[in-house]
Amino acid sequence: MTDHRKRAEPASQADENHEYQMIGEFDLPGEPGNDRLAMEKVAQVLAPLRLEKQRLDRLKTAVAEATLNALEHGSRYQHEVPVTIRVRVSQKRIAVEVTNFGDTDIPLDPELPDLEAKMAGEQKPRGWGFFLIQHLVDEVHITNQPARHTIELFVNRQS
């Protein structure tokens, strides 16, 4: 198992004293467009928490991008290879896990996207997904296990 921790600040230590409670779990088939559906379903699950709009919008986009990556590179848009999403909350944080059970060696935009390089044809136009995730949530964990790849997004409930 490999565990790559992006933004490896000890934020998770703050969570060690807080029990997470599962408030939602669902599977989505490997179909185009389900990145948006994942985003909307997570927003529905989180609605009772009344997050501030900016925080929720950022998390929604991060969830959509994590799901898009899982759909494209994990399930490869095979209907029968689902993406599983779990939403957990503690007193201070929200954690959204996006797991796929297809290919586990998912590329995560290896080069830092640079608009000028893209416009000069030195980088492909796409490749913004993981960059956005990193900038829109407070912490990201990635776990690869045999036949299972998980990206976990953490946001603080309040600033």
- In the complex, the residues that contact another protein under the rule CB under 8 A are 32, 35-36, 39, 54, 57-58, 61, 64-65, 68, 113, 115, 118-119, 121, 124-129, 131-132, 135-136
Sign of torsion over alpha carbons 65, 67, 71, 73: positive
For residues 88 and 139, which CB has a smaller minimum distance to another protein in the complex? 139
Tell me the C-alpha distance between 31 and 27, whole Å.
12
Tell me the C-alpha distance between 99 and 145, whole Å.
11
Tell me the C-alpha distance between 151 and 99, whole Å.
7
What is the nearest approach in angstroms of another protein to the Cβ of residue 58?
Answer: 7
What is the nearest approach in angstroms of another protein to the Cβ of residue 139?
Answer: 17
Sign of torsion over alpha carbons 107, 128, 54, 6: positive
For residues 1 and 120, which CB has a smaller minimum distance to another protein in the complex? 120
What is the nearest approach in angstroms of another protein to the Cβ of residue 35?
Answer: 6
For residues 18 and 76, which CB has a smaller minimum distance to another protein in the complex? 76
